[in-house]
Chain A
Amino acid sequence: MSSPLSSRERGRRTRPKVRSWWVAFLASTLVVATFGFASVASSAVAKKPTISVWVDSTRVPQVKAYEKAHPGVKIDMVIYNGNANGSGVLQSKIALDNRVGSGWPDIVFSEENNDAASLASSQFNYPAVLNKGLVSKKVLGGYAQGTLAGCTLNGKVYCLRNDLAMNVLFYNSALMTQFGYSVPTTWQQWQTIGEEVATQHPGYIVGSVGDNWDDDIYLWPSECHVDDVVKTDTIDINGADPNCTRATQLIDPLIKDGAVTTDSVFSSTFGTTFNNKILMMVGPAWYGQYLFPGIVTKGDLAVADPLSWGSGPTVTGEVGGGLWFMSSHVTGAAKTLSASILTWLSTSYGSQGISPGYPAYVADESSWIAGQQASGLYSNQIAPVFAKAATEVWSGWSPVPWSTDSVFGSTVVTGLNSGQTMTSQLSAFASQLADYAQSDGYTVVTKP
């Protein structure tokens, strides 16, 4: 709000005219000087391009590692919020850059797995096509089967995956032994244990629904059809799908009993409230390095295969994972250089070895796992669980130009916070998704 006081003249100055001339003169001198220097500077470095790289704070060490390994390359690193939680910051910057015709980041990291669909659309036209000479076939072939699916549109690969963020079941092995539970393999078993925990060990939790990505944790693995692009520009959104309600009906009683919390896992007090009180939690692979250290005693954390629904093949969901894009607007020497930086950041162990997520690039996986295992956090072997889960991500949850998570947050999570049940909020969730889909030109269908 503009305060009228700020613009009120105080009337003490006796010669405003003279002063304003001076101010104008000084200001114009500054402007000329700045632009002058800028143009001199830019002509001086014209031969050695500076590559601009935008990352979230989590990815900063990876870029720093590149700079250390390649001291001759000039990187201009910009830290932004990683486009997290449907904030759309990246889209807003690209839209502005498109408008002025310059300023695009040469390389950008996004936490939002939907971003290939959005950024490569005719609205933004931002990313370079990587599989037409920029990145070698060998590198592209080095990714686990299906992991570049979200980056691939009409046969063109627009991004490289940073890490795989498939959900697995984390559990506290010491507590499970102490309480006498065996590790569940199905969602139904998980719920039974949850009910028992609520009565026998109140205060302990088996999960959380307080964040806007929890649709990826509970609805995606349940094959809930609210985000299924069945053919180009046609999407299946059905909140009444039994696959959706079977998940929410399982969770609702647990929320009521307190075995599933509605606190955000990144709220300031989550760590203290649930210190060594998380019995189980389904979550993405990166929870291991990013969420649990400090909350679970070292050596007590274990992972198990994603939960199944008893019949049919086991599938899971994923939360984020991160994508590396390169700008289609880079030309000349900067183009090859950018492509090599992009490749290094997303595939080299120098970069992936320090990433909190399970590398999408197969060659880095075993070393990364070895590093994780050596950290002493886990009580069992994570390699077989992660490797298997990575291949089980259900394909019926498609990349779309809007943020499904954001809609889940503003409908289901806020509903839970106001005392509603998850099941009762499904229709609001689905109808708002349908609104978004329609306003983005999709035809919404409802498959039973």
Chain B
Amino acid sequence: MKSAASGKDPTPLDATASLIPRLRRRKKNGVAGYVFVSGYFVLLILFGVAPAAYAIALAFTATGGHFVGFSNFVKTAEDFRFLPAFENVAEYLLIWLGSLVVIVLGLALMLHGIARKVSAAFRFIFYLPGALAGAASVLVWLFMLDPTVSPWRLFLGIFGFKNLGQTILPGHLPLIFAIIAFWAGAGGWIVVTYGALNNIPNELIEAAQLDGAGAFQTALRIKLPLIKKWITFMLILAFAAGTQLFVEPQLVGEASLGLISPTWSPNELAYYFAFQDNNFNYAAAISVDLLVIGLLCAAVLVFRTKLFEVE
């Protein structure tokens, strides 16, 4: 590049001379990379790997610290709250992941394909609710869901909800939590997906259009396959976060003065075991259950979509 700028044909000597600093630079970049990663790595070990290892150790031992095999897993799985909690979260995940994939991708593709002129404004608007921290966003929703104070009380009235207790009936909860999660989390994913779409070379899209592909065809046959890995990435993270649902049911339960079971989600059940029954081993067993489920799902998605393969 340097020699091209000087307007001369590069001689072998020039080439070698320019190669050395480039190599040096590359080496330096490598170090910088490690420095960047190191902060995350240390935190990952301290707050990710070490607690997980501790949880695994707890899950296979009893209060005295002696090894008990899978006994904690069996006993927690036999508990009367175990299945309902997992059913609740499974139902929630179905709604949340389904809507995430369909609506987030739909909106991102629309912003990228059709509404490009206003897309920056829309991306900002979509992202805005995500700026509220988890607990704060649930509090906002508590007001929205309580027909006695909600700005949407007319809308809630159409469904016949007259008080908070009627809005948050057990059957409604998975949908409500999915809506909250979507409202708070989808904006971030729309921005990410939009970024991924921007990575697609323009030539490809132009070529498709020259071949007669309309906006819909381009989106479906060109753009979607090219951002497949981003979708996988989104699904893995959203699935892991979704199985760990805790703040929403906990806060809604407290706000309704206890109308929701305190063990609605598996994470809440683990919390209950740890802090109500003072049984950290049972709690650890459930957290390991969640870890295994998350890893399995990630593994399936990673291998199916060849996420880590470099083209």
Residues of A near any B CB (own CB < 8 A): 1-5, 7, 9, 16-17, 20, 81, 84-88, 91-92, 95-96, 98-99, 118, 123-124, 210-212, 262-264, 266-269, 402-403, 405-406, 409-410, 413-414, 416-418, 432, 435, 439-440
Contact partners of A20 in chain B: CB under 8 A: 35, 39
At the interface, yes or no: B103 with Cβ under 8 Å from chain A? no
Contact partners of B197 in chain A: CB under 8 A: none
Contact partners of A413 in chain B: CB under 8 A: 165, 259
Since A16-B35, A85-B254 are in contact, a sample of 8 more A-B pairs with Cβ atoms closer than 8 Å, ordered by chain A residue number, is A1-B181, A1-B238, A4-B188, A5-B188, A17-B32, A86-B258, A417-B259, A418-B166
Contact partners of A263 in chain B: CB under 8 A: 162-163
Q: How far is the CA of A188 from the CA of B233 in the complex (A)?
A: 64
At the interface, yes or no: B164 with Cβ under 8 Å from chain A? yes
Give residues 101-139 of B contacting A (CB, 8 Å).
Answer: 130, 134
The reply to whether A16 and B36 contact each other, CB–CB distance below 8 Å, is yes
At the interface, yes or no: B97 with Cβ under 8 Å from chain A? no
At the interface, yes or no: B9 with Cβ under 8 Å from chain A? no
The reply to whether B164 and A267 contact each other, CB–CB distance below 8 Å, is yes
At the interface, yes or no: B275 with Cβ under 8 Å from chain A? yes
Q: How far is the CA of A16 from the CA of B257 in the complex (A)?
A: 49
Q: How far is the CA of A418 from the CA of B259 in the complex (A)?
A: 12
The reply to whether A3 and B274 contact each other, CB–CB distance below 8 Å, is no
The reply to whether B163 and A91 contact each other, CB–CB distance below 8 Å, is no
Neighbour of B148 across the interface among A7, A98, A262, A267, CB < 8 A: A267
At the interface, yes or no: B241 with Cβ under 8 Å from chain A? yes
Residue of B nearest to A93 (CB): B275
Interface size class of B (residues with CB under 8 A): 35 or more
The reply to whether A2 and B241 contact each other, CB–CB distance below 8 Å, is yes
> Do most interface residues of chain A lie in helix, strand or loop, or is the interface mixed?
helix
Among A98, A269, A405, the most chain B Cβ lie within 10 Å of the Cβ of A269
Sampled A-B contacts (21; CB under 8 Å): A1-B241, A4-B188, A4-B192, A4-B237, A16-B32, A85-B254, A86-B258, A87-B254, A88-B275, A91-B278, A118-B276, A210-B163, A212-B257, A264-B163, A264-B165, A269-B149, A403-B258, A410-B170, A410-B261, A432-B80, A435-B80
The reply to whether A418 and B237 contact each other, CB–CB distance below 8 Å, is no
Residue of A nearest to B143 (CB): A268
The reply to whether B165 and A414 contact each other, CB–CB distance below 8 Å, is yes
The reply to whether A406 and B262 contact each other, CB–CB distance below 8 Å, is yes
Contact partners of A210 in chain B: CB under 8 A: 163, 165
The reply to whether B278 and A123 contact each other, CB–CB distance below 8 Å, is yes
Q: How far is the CA of A63 from the CA of B42 in the complex (A)?
A: 44
Q: How far is the CA of A409 from the CA of B238 in the complex (A)?
A: 31
CB distance from A23 to the nearest CB of B (A): 9
Residue of B nearest to A408 (CB): B258
Q: How far is the CA of A118 from the CA of B276 in the complex (A)?
A: 9
The reply to whether A88 and B258 contact each other, CB–CB distance below 8 Å, is no
Q: How far is the CA of A211 from the CA of B256 in the complex (A)?
A: 9
Q: How far is the CA of A4 from the CA of B261 in the complex (A)?
A: 32
Residue of B nearest to A4 (CB): B192
Residue of B nearest to A270 (CB): B148
Contact partners of B166 in chain A: CB under 8 A: 417-418
Neighbour of A268 across the interface among B36, B148, B185, CB < 8 A: B148
Contact partners of B237 in chain A: CB under 8 A: 2, 4
Residue of B nearest to A11 (CB): B36
Q: How far is the CA of A123 from the CA of B191 in the complex (A)?
A: 48
At the interface, yes or no: B260 with Cβ under 8 Å from chain A? yes
At the interface, yes or no: B64 with Cβ under 8 Å from chain A? no
CB distance from B89 to the nearest CB of A (A): 14
Q: How far is the CA of A62 from the CA of B22 in the complex (A)?
A: 73
The reply to whether A5 and B79 contact each other, CB–CB distance below 8 Å, is no
Among A4, A7, A124, A211, the most chain B Cβ lie within 10 Å of the Cβ of A4
CB distance from B88 to the nearest CB of A (A): 12
Residue of B nearest to A438 (CB): B80
Neighbour of A410 across the interface among B149, B192, B258, CB < 8 A: B258
At the interface, yes or no: B272 with Cβ under 8 Å from chain A? yes
Contact partners of A99 in chain B: CB under 8 A: 280
At the interface, yes or no: B73 with Cβ under 8 Å from chain A? no
CB distance from B286 to the nearest CB of A (A): 14
Contact partners of B277 in chain A: CB under 8 A: 123, 439-440
The reply to whether B254 and A81 contact each other, CB–CB distance below 8 Å, is yes
Neighbour of A92 across the interface among B40, B79, B258, B276, CB < 8 A: B276
Contact partners of B149 in chain A: CB under 8 A: 268-269
Q: How far is the CA of A290 from the CA of B288 in the complex (A)?
A: 45
The reply to whether B258 and A405 contact each other, CB–CB distance below 8 Å, is yes
Q: How far is the CA of A7 from the CA of B134 in the complex (A)?
A: 17
Q: How far is the CA of A52 from the CA of B242 in the complex (A)?
A: 38
The reply to whether A87 and B148 contact each other, CB–CB distance below 8 Å, is no
- Nearest 4 pairs between A and B by C-beta? A92-B275, A85-B258, A3-B188, A123-B278
B157-185 vs A, CB cutoff 8 Å, 1 = contact: the mask equals: 00000111110011100000000010011
Residue of B nearest to A98 (CB): B278
Residue of A nearest to B257 (CB): A85
Contact partners of A85 in chain B: CB under 8 A: 254, 257-258
CB distance from B225 to the nearest CB of A (A): 21
Residue of A nearest to B75 (CB): A439
Contact partners of A124 in chain B: CB under 8 A: 278
Q: How far is the CA of A212 from the CA of B261 in the complex (A)?
A: 11
Give residues 240-294 of B contacting A (CB, 8 Å).
Answer: 241, 254, 256-262, 271-272, 274-280
Contact partners of A17 in chain B: CB under 8 A: 32, 35
Contact partners of A86 in chain B: CB under 8 A: 258, 262
Contact partners of B188 in chain A: CB under 8 A: 3-5
The reply to whether A88 and B276 contact each other, CB–CB distance below 8 Å, is yes
The reply to whether B169 and A414 contact each other, CB–CB distance below 8 Å, is yes
Neighbour of A3 across the interface among B146, B165, B185, CB < 8 A: B185
The reply to whether B258 and A417 contact each other, CB–CB distance below 8 Å, is no
Residue of A nearest to B162 (CB): A263
Q: How far is the CA of A17 from the CA of B171 in the complex (A)?
A: 52
Contact partners of A416 in chain B: CB under 8 A: 165
Contact partners of A262 in chain B: CB under 8 A: 163, 165
Residue of A nearest to B263 (CB): A410
Neighbour of B262 across the interface among A88, A264, A269, CB < 8 A: A88
Residue of A nearest to B234 (CB): A4
